[in-house]
């Protein structure tokens, strides 16, 4: 059964949150696709993932590259699965994939400070619940540690 995780960002940026989540996914041996809401956003995240840390390397590519299928993490704006990943991250308003069941996990990260993003996340929650998926909701505590809320 696909698990859909909702990560509520509040006073946090995707640039600070996404790299550690991707690193944890890779540590678990998962292949990942990250779907952004626009090409500009995907390009900005691509540039950020190369430079976010001086002491870490996050191997990744984009959907435009010929070797996307070989990359452990692929950034895309499309709803395909270019690297046969088991985990899909959705950022900046990217919609739930039509076939959520193709993934072990779908992680929807939304900006809780943005009314439109909150409304879209609520709609995705309602749709996912109606479709019978396992849902979890996560929010960071005052120290920035993710807490599962029930």
**CA 76 vs CA 45, 135, 142: distances in Å:** 10, 24, 32
* pLDDT tens, residue by residue, 2-12: 999 999 999 88
pLDDT for residue 35: 98
* pLDDT tens, residue by residue, 89-120: 999 999 999 899 999 999 999 999 999 999 99
Taking the C-alpha atoms of residue 111 and residue 132, their distance in angstroms, rounded to an integer, is 24
* pLDDT tens, residue by residue, 68-97: 999 999 999 999 999 999 999 999 999 999
Q: State mean pLDDT over 20-46.
A: 96
Q: Strand pairing partners for 136?
A: 5
Q: Is the pLDDT of residue 1 over 90?
A: no
Least Cα distance to 142 among 13, 7, 11 occurs for 11
Chain-wide mean pLDDT for the chain? 94
Q: State mean pLDDT over 54-63.
A: 89
Q: Considering only the C-alpha atoms of the chain, give the largest distance between any 2 of them, rounded to a whole number of Å.
A: 43
Give all domains of the chain, ordered by start, each with its CATH number: 3-149 (3.40.50.10110)
pLDDT band at 55 (very low <50, low <70, confident <90, very high): confident
């Amino acid at each position: 059964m696909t698990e859909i995780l909702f990560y509520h960002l509040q006073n946090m940026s995707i640039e600070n949150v996404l790299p550690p989540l991707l690193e944890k996914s890779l540590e678990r041996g998962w292949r990942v696709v990250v779907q952004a809401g626009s090409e500009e956003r995907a390009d900005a995240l691509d540039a950020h993932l190369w430079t976010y840390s001086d002491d870490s390397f996050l191997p990744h590519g984009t959907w435009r590259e010929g070797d996307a299928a070989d990359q452990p993490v692929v950034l895309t704006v499309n709803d395909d699965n270019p690297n046969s990943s088991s985990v899909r991250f959705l950022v900046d308003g990217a919609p739930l994939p039509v076939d959520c069941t193709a993934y072990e996990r779908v992680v929807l990260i939304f900006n809780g400070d943005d009314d439109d993003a909150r409304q879209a996340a609520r709609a995705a929650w309602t749709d996912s619940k109606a479709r019978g998926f396992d849902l979890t909701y996560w929010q960071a505590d005052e120290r920035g540690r993710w807490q599962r809320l029930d």
